[in-house]
Amino acid sequence: MSTAFIFPGQGSQAVGMGKALAEAFPAAREVFTEVDAALGEHLTRIMWEGPLEDLTLTANAQPALMATSLAALRVLEVEAGLDLARDAAFVAGHSLGEYSALAAAGALSVTDAARLLRIRGRAMQDAVPVGVGAMAALLGLDYDQAVAVAAEAAGDDVCEAANDNATGQVVVSGHRVAVERALEIAKAKGASRAILLPVSAPFHCRLMEPAAEIMAAALADATVNAPCVPLVSNVRASPVTDPVEIVRLLVEQVTGTVRWRESVIYMAGAGVRKTVEVGAGKVLSGLSRRIVKEIAATAVGTPEDVAAFIAAKAAPAA
């Protein structure tokens, strides 16, 4: 069975994430220690003790989610004998999860991924003054309908499709006044729900151009290797392995649409029948099943999940 390993994005964070892994497995503790050292602070203290408001800050949430994903992956490597080069057809990650995916596949070191995500989080937060931007989920409209709603709502402002998460689940992003117009237009066009999201900035739209410039400079100073398994890019919804192209796409991703629905469809079309979500939460697992019902989706983020993964791996094929 062809398998893709997928890595969650912002919104999956929770106080306590990764703590049980660190307590149970030395391999997980090593990752968290490395991330703390890379950032020069005890990010793990915020992760495990809170408060949630501090963990949710973009500059903390992004490296924290990556740390949890890589800790879980390292445990699978040590305890379950996982070898991505052998066991994965693709890796993919939602927004910041691309950095986790690249670190998992050896394209980035954990240290570089942590530092880049701290820079990325701060740059994205600082790109737009607080209160000027917003994001909203439009439910019950397909991607083309959501794009049309965003275009109609924009006027002289910015309103764009930011995340194509699943069939009937598209997020728009831009100036708050335009996003609020999009809510009303979407409802008039038959959306089942249209709701503002509790985010601190309008991610994945043109308003993030200052952050994209900062990331271009930061990535130019980072070492990016070819991953051991192809990355299905958010921007292209197709595989990439060339380090120069990976860097270009990571910069473009800051302002570009996260094409998650198309990415899952691509992987399924390429033979993937199972996804393993590595890290905090199970958001992407739910989306995978919604996008392609035939996909078997599992998640690994706790010691119990590790045990279940090992048991499933040991079980005879049906």
**pLDDT (average), residues 16-28:** 98
Q: How confident is the model at residue 315 (pLDDT cuts 50, 70, 90)?
A: confident
Give the Cα-Cα-Cα angle 33, 36, 38 (nearest 5 degrees): 110
Q: How confident is the model at residue 200 (pLDDT cuts 50, 70, 90)?
A: confident
Which residue, 305, 303, 285, 304, is CA-closest to 295?
285
3-state secondary structure of 294: coil
Residue 299 has pLDDT above 60, yes or no: yes
Q: Report yes or no: 38 and 117 within 8 Å, Cβ to Cβ.
A: no
Beta bridge partners of 169: 139, 166
- Please give the pLDDT value at position 199: 86
Round to whole Å and give the CA distance between 259 and 234: 5
- Please give the pLDDT value at position 317: 58
pLDDT tens digits, residue range 56-94?
Answer: 999 999 999 999 999 999 999 999 999 999 999 999 999
Round to whole Å and give the CA distance between 61 and 55: 5
- Please give the pLDDT value at position 102: 98
Round to whole Å and give the CA distance between 298 and 308: 10
Full DSSP string of 63-115? HHHHHHHHHHHHHHHHHH---HHHH-SEEEESTTHHHHHHHHTTSS-HHHHHH
Q: How confident is the model at residue 270 (pLDDT cuts 50, 70, 90)?
A: very high
Residue with structure tokens 């629905």? Answer: 261
Q: How confident is the model at residue 173 (pLDDT cuts 50, 70, 90)?
A: very high
Helix 58-80 with 110-126: angle, nearest 10 deg: 160
Round to whole Å and give the CA distance between 283 and 285: 5
Supply the mean pLDDT for the chain: 96
Residue 217 has pLDDT above 80, yes or no: yes
Q: Please state, for a pLDDT cut of 90, what percent of the chain lies above it.
A: 96
Round to whole Å and give the CA distance between 154 and 131: 17
5 sits in which H/E element: strand 2-7
Residue 216 has pLDDT above 60, yes or no: yes
DSSP secondary-structure letter at 258? B
Round to whole Å and give the CA distance between 261 and 172: 15
pLDDT tens digits, residue range 137-171?
Answer: 999 999 999 999 999 999 999 999 999 999 999 99
DSSP secondary-structure letter at 279? S
Here the tokens at position 45 are 């203290």
Q: 316 preceded by cis ω (within 30°)? A: no
Which residue, 4, 3, 5, 2, is CA-closest to 301?
5
Which residue, 27, 8, 5, 57, is CA-closest to 280?
8
Q: Report yes or no: 99 and 116 within 8 Å, Cβ to Cβ.
A: yes
Beta strands in 147-288 (DSSP E): 159-166, 169-175, 193-196, 231-232, 239-240, 272-278
Residue 239 has pLDDT above 60, yes or no: yes
Task: Kindly list the catalytic residues.
Answer: 95, 204
DSSP secondary-structure letter at 118? H
Q: How confident is the model at residue 27 (pLDDT cuts 50, 70, 90)?
A: very high
**pLDDT (average), residues 29-55:** 97
Residue with structure tokens 């051991």? Answer: 228
Beta bridge partners of 276: 5, 298
Which residue, 203, 5, 7, 4, is CA-closest to 93?
7
Q: Phi/psi at 85 (nearest 5 deg)?
A: -60, -30
Residue 48 has pLDDT above 90, yes or no: yes
Domains with residue ranges and CATH for the chain: 2-127+207-314 (3.40.366.10), 133-199 (3.30.70.250)
